[in-house]
Amino acid sequence: MQQADILARVQRRLADEPVTPDPARLAALIREEAVVISDLGVLDIMRQLRDDTTGTGPLEALLADPAVTDICVNGPDAVYVDAGHGLQRSGLTFDSEAAVRRLAARLAASCGRRLDDAQPFCDGHVARADGTLLRFHAVLAPTAHAGTCISLRVLRTASATLDDLVARGALDGERAGVLRGVVEKRKAFVVVGGTGSGKTTLLSALLAEVDPAERIVAIEDTLELTPAHPHVVNLTTRAANAEGAGAIGIADLVRQSLRMRPDRIVVGEIRGAEVVDLLAALNTGHDGGAGTLHANSIEEVPARFEALAALGGLDRAGLHAQLAAAIDVVLVVKRRADGVRVLHQIGVLEGAPVRARVVWDAATGPADGYEELLP
């Protein structure tokens, strides 16, 4: 008998069990259905049952690799994985479109979301037994033409130090000294880069350089910032419940942070109308703040801030007036073709309207204004 057939028969019997059986009872059920099976076979089926009920099903085999950061399922026959070298097609497949849909629906339910024909897409966060979180998104067929699509991002807390990043080759000792100076001088900064470029990792490393006597309030959608600092208060957002009530957004938490006696306000990712509240906070005595911004180059930074400020009702002139006084330094990170994440550029914001100017580039070296950042 094929292992898949045994698994299906055991699952049918489990549906009739009044309570979840203990491991011994489960092993007995497997042996009854298989008739002849080795101990290793029993353990393998028990593992599959666990993965199919509380884990991510067949995707558990890919998540077992600590280098994996993303998994993308494009229907039952196309599963891609990113282990540091970009998305590559894996050899893993699902039995059917129905199997992908069942997994998507179960993961959605585990994070309190609805996923069905009336609501064919959803996102959320799935907590795993090892303490990591998965950022989850799914789109059901036929909205997704290739079949049900599942996207998983592995969120690991960032606690590296600048010395760790130097050891990894992300930056050299001189640049580490410059960044320490930026923190010590209480300059407000943003870390800019594309998806998976290492923005949060660098931000966390810089927060570890903050004076231990200072209080950091870190605001995120999901807990990722865990710098080696003794006084960090982490605030995280909350999605609306099934009735559409109870949501807590980044902007709400930025406003609440102002009443928490912060020395530094940090927003894990600036991506919406909360930019208006953040810039207002940084212009009212809360210097030394920080955050990350999704952009592919330093030249895009003013335009990205304009677009986000428009969501909060702040016009272009108002945004540039606020931005000029709020943000001092821009750090650009990128992921090279070999998967190594590096500090690519250091820039400053200046002028009115604000423009970004590069003062150090990994390829060309220092430019005018770089000396002002030296410790």
Helix extents (H) in the chain: 3-16, 23-34, 39-53, 60-63, 97-110, 162-168, 173-184, 199-207, 250-257, 274-282, 301-311, 316-326
Domain boundaries, the chain: 1-50, 54-155, 162-373
Binned at pLDDT 50, 70 and 90, residue 139 comes out as very high
The per-residue pLDDT for 284 is: 80
**pLDDT, tens only, 43-70:** 776 666 665 666 788 898 898 888 898 9
Average pLDDT over residues 326-338: 90
Average pLDDT over residues 261-285: 89
**pLDDT, tens only, 178-199:** 999 999 999 999 999 988 888 9
The per-residue pLDDT for 359 is: 94
Binned at pLDDT 50, 70 and 90, residue 296 comes out as confident
Say if residues 257 and 236 touch (Cβ distance below 8 Å).
no
Average pLDDT over residues 337-341: 81
**Which CATH number among 3.30.450.370, 1.10.3260.10, 3.30.420.40, 1.10.1510.10 corresponds to the domain 54-155?**
3.30.450.370
The per-residue pLDDT for 10 is: 66
Average pLDDT over residues 139-163: 89
- Other beta carbons within 10 Å of 105: 18
Structure tokens at 164: 């760790």
Of the two residues 314 and 55, the one the predictor is more confident about is 314
**Any residues with CB less than 8 A from the CB of 32 and at least 6 apart, and which?**
none
Q: Domain 162-373, what fold? A: Rossmann fold (3.40.50)
**Any residues with CB less than 8 A from the CB of 302 and at least 6 apart, and which?**
320, 323, 349, 353, 354, 355, 356
The per-residue pLDDT for 309 is: 92
Please report how many Cα atoms fall inside a 13 Å half-sphere around the Cα of residue 23, on the Cβ side: 6
The per-residue pLDDT for 72 is: 96
Binned at pLDDT 50, 70 and 90, residue 242 comes out as low
Is the pLDDT assigned to residue 79 strictly greater than 90?
yes
The per-residue pLDDT for 7 is: 64
Say if residues 78 and 149 touch (Cβ distance below 8 Å).
no
- Other beta carbons within 10 Å of 359: 19
The per-residue pLDDT for 345 is: 94
Q: What are phi and psi of 235, to 5 degrees?
A: -115, 135
Say if residues 374 and 181 touch (Cβ distance below 8 Å).
yes
Average pLDDT over residues 207-229: 92
Of the two residues 34 and 334, the one the predictor is more confident about is 334
Least confident of 73-82, 115-124, 180-189: 115-124
Residue 269, Ramachandran bin (φ over 0: left; ψ between -120 and 50: alpha; else beta): beta
